[in-house]
Amino acid sequence: MERETWVSRDGFILAAIGSAVGLGNIWRFPWLTADNGGSAFLVAYLVAIFVVGIPGLMVSFVIGRRSKRNPVGAFRTLAGGTHWNILGGLCLVTSLVLLSFYTVVGGWVVRYVLESITGGYFHDPASHFSAIAFGMPAFFFQLVFLFITGAIVTVGVQRGIESTTRLLTPAIVVFLGGLAIWTWIRAPASPGYDFYLGFDGTYFTQNYLSVIGAASGQALFSLSIGSGTMITYASYLGEDRSLLADGSIIAIVNLGIGLLAGLVVFPLLFTVVGEPTGGGPGALFVSLAGAFGTLPGGRIIGVAFYLTVFFAALSSAISILEMPVAYFVDEHGLSRPTATAVLTALLVVTGGVNAFNESLFDFVAGPLVSQLLTLGLLGFMLYAAWVLGDESTAEFKAGAGPLSDLVATPWRLIVGTLLPLFLLLSILSTLASMV
């Protein structure tokens, strides 16, 4: 059977943006921002997007488009039986780890869409959330989210992924824009704006190692790099695209949507409680839910908000699942529906474990995933610069204009040496801050 490709250029860009924009922007970002000194984290994150994020996207696209394979196949064919093959296995593991907690949060979101209609969480958001966040209620909605994701991936790249994300991605932008305006009208003086946008360097100077580590991990998470997702998406891409142009568009739109989400989340977080409730994984479902429960018009806004988060989460979950599915289809000749079914069954188990164990979930969704993505990208970069070498520069330049030639010259130095050192430091500093 012939391998599918994207129908159109904007199909690829929209799908990649759909992958990038997700729970990372709306749920994980406020959590980490609140934990890492507010605006100082925002600044570190902005820097990380440009310094590590865009080059990371480029490297992933180069590997994917060069090999036209899923990451496992990519490293197997390009690296031809060397130990670099391990990177493909790492991508598989990372994807499963990602989905195992992502579907838990996806399930919370599905539940909150419904409960915004019924008003289920309005009365006492904090105790409501702690009653449903883990255990059976969480598992049930996790399954709903997981099955919706699987159903779309089963249908295929063009009819499933591309046509769904073509609808979801623009919808996210429109909804978030509307919500940001509503928030500003309702809570123009919220201290949340200051917390988010006013820069206070004190926290940063005292904790720069952990802030930089968390910020760069979040940049990778948010741009879906280090797990092989972007390798997979770029493997369906033609040679006539400029990777630099497409990648920059994706990174900038993702950043814009993330900033927009912050303009909804932070002011609302502060309106009701006056202080951020330490963020934490539950911030979106406790403080924010509280705001929807008390502000005029909150009920309908709650539905719109959680629906937006649902769209964002779904288009990302699809992209994470696509990687192992592509692996089973490309490498083992399974049909797409069979591959999807096998993986979904596996995820019921590995995801279920997270839905039942809160401290495991916190660890997996926080430091574990950051470390895995950072390690993955470190490997991709070393591989592209030192093993693919000139081939990777040629792939980077294919379909691109003169600007790429300019960037291609310091490419090896940046991607092969400077950034890997930085990523290594960030892994070590996160480890150090954990012990």
Rule CB under 6 A: which of 232-261 touch ligand PHE?
Answer: none
Q: Which two tokens stand for residue 223?
A: 């741009």
Binder among 11, 18, 24, 217 for ligand PHE (CB under 6 A):
24
Rule CB under 6 A: which of 256-295 touch ligand PHE?
Answer: none
**Contacts from 113-122 at CB under 8 Å and sequence distance 24+?**
113/303, 113/306, 113/307, 113/310, 116/292, 116/299, 116/302, 116/303, 116/305, 116/306, 117/299, 117/303, 119/293, 119/299, 121/285, 121/289, 121/293, 122/289, 122/292, 122/293, 122/299
Binding residues for ligand PHE, rule CB under 6 A, total: 15
Binder among 39, 227, 271, 344 for ligand PHE (CB under 6 A):
227
User: Is the Cα torsion angle 157, 158, 161, 166 positive or negative in sign?
Assistant: positive
Distance of alpha carbon 416 from alpha carbon 403, whole angstroms = 20
> Per-residue contact track with ligand PHE, 310 to 349, x per CB under 6 A?
------x--xx-----------------------------
Q: Minimum Å distance from CB 300 to ligand PHE?
A: 25
Distance of alpha carbon 392 from alpha carbon 382, whole angstroms = 11
**Considering the rule CB under 6 A, would residue 55 count as an interface residue with ligand PHE?**
no
Q: Minimum Å distance from CB 413 to ligand PHE?
A: 27
**Considering the rule CB under 6 A, would residue 176 count as an interface residue with ligand PHE?**
no
**Considering the rule CB under 6 A, would residue 222 count as an interface residue with ligand PHE?**
yes
Stretch that binds ligand PHE, among 18-26, 134-142, 155-163, 186-194 (CB under 6 A): 18-26
Residue among 169 and 393 whose Cβ is closer to ligand PHE:
169
**Count of C-beta atoms within a 10 Å radius of residue 410:** 10
Binder among 16, 17, 23, 289 for ligand PHE (CB under 6 A):
23
Which phi-psi region, left, alpha or beta, contains residue 9 (left: φ > 0; alpha: ψ -120 to 50)? alpha
- Contact at 8 Å (CB) between 268 and 290? no
Q: Minimum Å distance from CB 138 to ligand PHE?
A: 18
Q: Which residues bind ligand PHE (CB under 6 A)?
A: 19-20, 22-25, 98, 221-222, 224, 227, 229, 316, 319-320
